[in-house]
Chain A
Amino acid sequence: MNPIGHAGRRGDRVRSDCWISVEPRSSGGVSLTLKSRVAAMYGASIRQAVERGLAALGVAHAAVEVEDTGALPFVLAARLEAAVKRARPEIEDEFLPEAMPWTKYGTTRDRFRRSRLYLPGDQAKLMINAGLHGPDGVILDLEDSVAPAEKDAARFVVRNALLSVDFHGAERMVRINQTPAGLDDLPFVVPHNPHVILIPKCESPEHVTAVDERTKEILSERGIDTPVFLMPIVESALGCLRAYEIATASPNVVALTIGLEDYTADIGTQRTNEGRESFWARSQVVNAARAAGVQPIDTVFSDVTDMKGLMDSVLEAKGLGFDGKGCIHPRQIEVIHRGFTPAEAEIEKAKRIVFAFDEAEKRGLGVVSLGSKMIDPPVVKRALRTVELAEASGVLSKSWREGGGGNA
């Protein structure tokens, strides 16, 4: 009997996805049974895509069944490839969608990472419009939001999303699985312009270097010279204790973040709203990150209906020294950005410092001073960042310097 592979999602509640079953055969060509909500509009297009996909994967004979609820072409391709490879795991060819022009932008080490939106790697529907909501980053998640049985299939969806979906300037992040298994996720994502790889349950610098090395290997095989940045997530007592070593394990680390569900379990307690149990850990992450010169980023706030609770949590994170926060619903993005927007007094003070700094530069002075007070370099650096953030948040005009300013 021929092995049958199937992949995807079906059922009354599923939308924008499909379920595909493939039974490779030794003869008889391809027979396709198609049931689709969009058959009248896209039936022919679906048939063509299946034929092209099978050809690309080297399958000449097969019985294929498709149940479609309006899957976009990149999703259909991912489901087909997963179904084929479940039936015939030895196939190495890939069925890649064309890389769209809007997937090719880059990132920078120091960009703002106030909000990062988690998107389950197996649910393409949520990815399609994610960028429209304006997060600083999107995370295509291969780890906790994907059921163990769907890990292999989610890789194709995430890979194809990296090639197809317009994230509208958001930083393109992928959370791989815990190492060492997570290393096998890398060949699916690294060649397709991920900006940042999130390393979950990171407990040692070796976890970071393993991901970093494997990533570099894949990049050099492909002749790509843009580095892929790393964001380790510490989620345990050990990870917290070694946070500084983790943050400095590779120059590609740009941010350090914390996961509190696992952390609180690890130290033998439960997560509370007040968060006293995680105060040390969060401060530890802030300090380790700052010491390493990378961005400290806070965990997610998981009650999507409680906008006030979210704002409190953002202000607390900001107070602790974090630069950003995770989110699991697009409606949280605006609140997070508002929370991280510098207050008016903060901006005014920063503007005066920046003016003083500009003045000192102009005169070739080694020290920056405001009135009779000397300003230390970290304060200047912070003020520059505050002004930049105020500009990015739209509360300070980019041409504010022209107005003359401060009282310096």
Chain B
Amino acid sequence: MPSPELKKNAVGRTVPVEINGREAVPFQGVAKYRPEGTKVAPSISTCIDYPDCGDKTVPDIKTALKEAGVRDGMTISTHHHLRNGDFVANAVFEAAAELGVKDLMWFPSASFPCHAPVIEHMKNGVVHHIEGSMNGPLGAFCSAGGMRGMGVLRSHGGRYQAVQDGEVHIDIAVIAAPTADPFGNAHGLTGDAACGLLGFALADSQYADRVIVVTDNLIEFPCVPWQIQGNHVDFVTTMDAIGDASKIVSGTTQITKSPDRLRIAEMTARFVREAGIMENGFSFQAGAGGTALSFAIYLMEMMREDGVKARFVRGGSTQYLTAMLEEGLTDYILDGQTFDLDGVRSMRENPNHVNTSPFTSYNYHGKGNFASMLDCVVLGATEVDVSFNANVVTHSDGKLLHGIGGWQNCLFSKCTILPIPAFRDRIPVLVDEVTTLCGPGELIDVIVTERGIAINPRRDDLLSAVSGSDLPVRPIEEIKAEVETIVGGAPAKPRFGERVVAAIKWVDGTVIDCVRQLEAAK
């Protein structure tokens, strides 16, 4: 395969201008690229083709795929609501293999280690390549050059944008539904595989040619609330189990015991308080990682102490966010996904625990989105460089290991904070230049490490807001230099080959960076 033509983009990264046969635009800078034209639309359907009784059930996934007209080279999408407990994506490719279909493009909203069997399907030709997050074993396979096509990583909002703008045409969407009716209405609130909500499948239900709902809890019409509307759905089918409940949501969310992470979390919460962000009517988003979760707990204590209430918080929700809602520390949870059983319960019972989608929260090619309205957001990163650029998809050894998730979309909040250790084991997290640039430094405001807080020099306002506090604010270069004396110097760079194995899209569909194949270790 000849290497595609490359061009340097606005952040100095050399990126392909053609991806899997389609033209690609190099990143032009934040808020620079203006899309033109119209959104795509699915073809017109007619009730002539659907049973008046509303029963769209077919016996199994294989039949559904066949009736949906599955062919070589099609794009099939699935979603990650069932996280590492998902059985559906593997079942889809198993069925496709039995039907003898080849060269499919898999378009998941995210992948997990449970999807490692797809590697076999890539080796035997059923799957051509993946456009979606590549985690764990799939990432390693891609980095080693095992995939025939180029991987494309998009944020949750970028995925919606790509579908809406016609960059990706979904031939068949398969939606795993914890509860559904024969018409195709579906939700994630009940059933053995209850996961809360199904927002990541919204674009697919609206834009795919054919939509298949797979459930293990088929109930009589109507299935309410219809998070997925049956009017978009072609077929409904069942499996004995669509997922392993214990890996979908956790019974209880564990908070970290690591003293260093707790210290980072506490410093982050103190920063939010001291910088004046934590005031009545504010909003924040923090994930369910150990540090982010502890941050939320510390912040909650501080809100109680100061008598401060939030207007809304954004999930991924956990028992701690629902406790905030129930205690009246926030008016609303605007939730993107639920991480534990308590989150699912709250979403089912509490009208102020609202489900959202990448369309409402993240899509950059819309008339605004929720992410930019947040007063602060707390995110992770694998690396941050001295210009505050950050990486979330590769490790310093160059291996692709994580997806982007909502990370890029969240950078648009009024204050983006990355609480991260200054080094992990021996590997510095603060570096001179990130291995893969996923988020430009101009959108990243604060880095909180166990060794001090670095504030982006562009944010004079934040610097002066905390100047009177006893928070350990330090230049990022100084913390980085300190780390290098501890770990024995700056890390050597990974040895990459020429071939581009994956492209990293920005929220507007332009290419911000790419990942090259790793040279085999000596």
Shortest CB–CB separation between residue A9 and chain B, in angstroms? 13
Contact of B259 among A41, A100, A330 (CB under 8 A): A330
- Tell me which residues across on chain A come within 8 A of B486, comparing CB atoms: 72, 128, 166
Contact A72 B263 (CB under 8 A): no
B489 at the binding interface (Cβ < 8 Å): yes
How distant is the Cα of A290 from the Cα of B486 in the complex, in angstroms? Answer: 41
Contact of A329 among B259, B424, B425, B487 (CB under 8 A): B259
- Tell me which residues across on chain B come within 8 A of A38, comparing CB atoms: 397, 425-427, 491
Residue of A nearest to B428 (CB): A41
How distant is the Cα of A132 from the Cα of B449 in the complex, in angstroms? Answer: 11
Contact A16 B425 (CB under 8 A): yes
Shortest CB–CB separation between residue A75 and chain B, in angstroms? 9
B366 at the binding interface (Cβ < 8 Å): no
Chain B 480-495 interface mask (CB, 8 Å, partner A; 1/0): 0000011111011011
Shortest CB–CB separation between residue A315 and chain B, in angstroms? 21
B260 at the binding interface (Cβ < 8 Å): yes
- Tell me which residues across on chain B come within 8 A of A42, comparing CB atoms: 426, 487-488, 491-492
Contact A41 B424 (CB under 8 A): no
Give the A-B contact count at a CB cut-off of 8 A: 66
Contact B492 A43 (CB under 8 A): yes
B317 at the binding interface (Cβ < 8 Å): no
Residue of B nearest to A125 (CB): B425
Contact A40 B259 (CB under 8 A): no
Residue of B nearest to A73 (CB): B488
How distant is the Cα of A16 from the Cα of B396 in the complex, in angstroms? Answer: 16
Residue of B nearest to A70 (CB): B425
Contact A129 B491 (CB under 8 A): no
How distant is the Cα of A347 from the Cα of B450 in the complex, in angstroms? Answer: 33
Contact A37 B398 (CB under 8 A): no
- Tell me which residues across on chain B come within 8 A of A214, comparing CB atoms: none
Task: Give the contacts of B383-397 with A (CB-CB under 8 A).
Answer: 396-397
How distant is the Cα of A42 from the Cα of B491 in the complex, in angstroms? Answer: 6
Among B397, B451, B492, the one with the most A-chain Cβ atoms within 10 Å of its Cβ is: B492
Chain A 1-43 interface mask (CB, 8 Å, partner B; 1/0): 0000000000000011000000000000000000001111111
Residue of B nearest to A101 (CB): B485
- Tell me which residues across on chain A come within 8 A of B397, comparing CB atoms: 38-41
Residue of A nearest to B399 (CB): A40
Residue of A nearest to B519 (CB): A40
How distant is the Cα of A49 from the Cα of B259 in the complex, in angstroms? Answer: 30
A151 at the binding interface (Cβ < 8 Å): no
Chain B 426-449 interface mask (CB, 8 Å, partner A; 1/0): 110000000000000000000000
How distant is the Cα of A39 from the Cα of B259 in the complex, in angstroms? Answer: 27
Known: A40-B492, A42-B488, A100-B485. A70 touches B259 (CB 8 A): no
Known: A129-B450, A132-B451, A330-B263. A45 touches B488 (CB 8 A): yes
- Tell me which residues across on chain A come within 8 A of B450, comparing CB atoms: 129, 132
Shortest CB–CB separation between residue A379 and chain B, in angstroms? 33
Chain A 186-214 interface mask (CB, 8 Å, partner B; 1/0): 00000000000000000000000000000
- Tell me which residues across on chain B come within 8 A of A70, comparing CB atoms: 424-427
Chain B 486-506 interface mask (CB, 8 Å, partner A; 1/0): 111101101100000000000
How distant is the Cα of A102 from the Cα of B488 in the complex, in angstroms? Answer: 15
- Tell me which residues across on chain A come within 8 A of B424, comparing CB atoms: 70
B88 at the binding interface (Cβ < 8 Å): no
Among A41, A69, A132, A331, the one with the most B-chain Cβ atoms within 10 Å of its Cβ is: A41
B150 at the binding interface (Cβ < 8 Å): no
B521 at the binding interface (Cβ < 8 Å): yes
B376 at the binding interface (Cβ < 8 Å): no
- Tell me which residues across on chain B come within 8 A of A132, comparing CB atoms: 260, 263, 450-451
Task: Give the contacts of B239-275 with A (CB-CB under 8 A).
Answer: 259-260, 262-263
Residue of B nearest to A100 (CB): B485
A71 at the binding interface (Cβ < 8 Å): yes
Shortest CB–CB separation between residue B140 and chain A, in angstroms? 13
Shortest CB–CB separation between residue B322 and chain A, in angstroms? 22
How distant is the Cα of A72 from the Cα of B495 in the complex, in angstroms? Answer: 23
Shortest CB–CB separation between residue A120 and chain B, in angstroms? 14
Shortest CB–CB separation between residue A69 and chain B, in angstroms? 6
Contact A133 B425 (CB under 8 A): no
- Tell me which residues across on chain B come within 8 A of A129, comparing CB atoms: 259-260, 450
How distant is the Cα of A329 from the Cα of B488 in the complex, in angstroms? Answer: 27
Shortest CB–CB separation between residue A229 and chain B, in angstroms? 27
Chain A 126-163 interface mask (CB, 8 Å, partner B; 1/0): 00110011000000000000000000000000000000
How distant is the Cα of A100 from the Cα of B426 in the complex, in angstroms? Answer: 18
How distant is the Cα of A128 from the Cα of B423 in the complex, in angstroms? Answer: 11
A345 at the binding interface (Cβ < 8 Å): no
Contact A133 B492 (CB under 8 A): no
Contact A72 B487 (CB under 8 A): yes
A181 at the binding interface (Cβ < 8 Å): no
Chain A 106-133 interface mask (CB, 8 Å, partner B; 1/0): 0000000000000000000000110011
Residue of A nearest to B495 (CB): A40
Contact B425 A37 (CB under 8 A): yes
Contact A44 B492 (CB under 8 A): yes
How distant is the Cα of A45 from the Cα of B425 in the complex, in angstroms? Answer: 15
Known: A40-B396, A72-B486. A133 touches B426 (CB 8 A): no
Contact of B426 among A72, A166, A329, A331 (CB under 8 A): A72
- Tell me which residues across on chain B come within 8 A of A331, comparing CB atoms: 259, 262
Shortest CB–CB separation between residue B490 and chain A, in angstroms? 9
- Tell me which residues across on chain B come within 8 A of A73, comparing CB atoms: 487-488
Shortest CB–CB separation between residue A161 and chain B, in angstroms? 12
How distant is the Cα of A389 from the Cα of B492 in the complex, in angstroms? Answer: 47
How distant is the Cα of A330 from the Cα of B263 in the complex, in angstroms? Answer: 9
How distant is the Cα of A16 from the Cα of B495 in the complex, in angstroms? Answer: 23
Among A40, A49, A71, the one with the most B-chain Cβ atoms within 10 Å of its Cβ is: A40
- Tell me which residues across on chain B come within 8 A of A133, comparing CB atoms: 259, 263
Residue of A nearest to B472 (CB): A132
Contact B491 A69 (CB under 8 A): no
Contact B427 A41 (CB under 8 A): yes
Residue of B nearest to A132 (CB): B450
- Tell me which residues across on chain B come within 8 A of A41, comparing CB atoms: 396-397, 426-427, 491-492, 494
Sorted from nearest, which 6 A-B pairs have the closest CB atoms? A70-B425, A41-B491, A330-B259, A40-B397, A70-B426, A73-B488
A-B contact pairs, 24 of them (CB 8 A): A37-B425, A38-B397, A39-B397, A40-B396, A40-B492, A41-B397, A41-B491, A41-B492, A42-B491, A42-B492, A43-B492, A44-B492, A45-B488, A45-B489, A49-B488, A70-B425, A70-B426, A72-B426, A72-B488, A73-B487, A73-B488, A129-B260, A132-B263, A166-B486
Q: Which residues of B contact A (CB under 8 A)?
A: 259-260, 262-263, 396-398, 424-427, 450-451, 485-489, 491-492, 494-495, 521
Q: A40-B492, A41-B427 are in contact. List 8 more A-B contacts (CB 8 A).
A: A37-B425, A38-B397, A40-B396, A71-B426, A72-B486, A129-B260, A329-B259, A330-B263
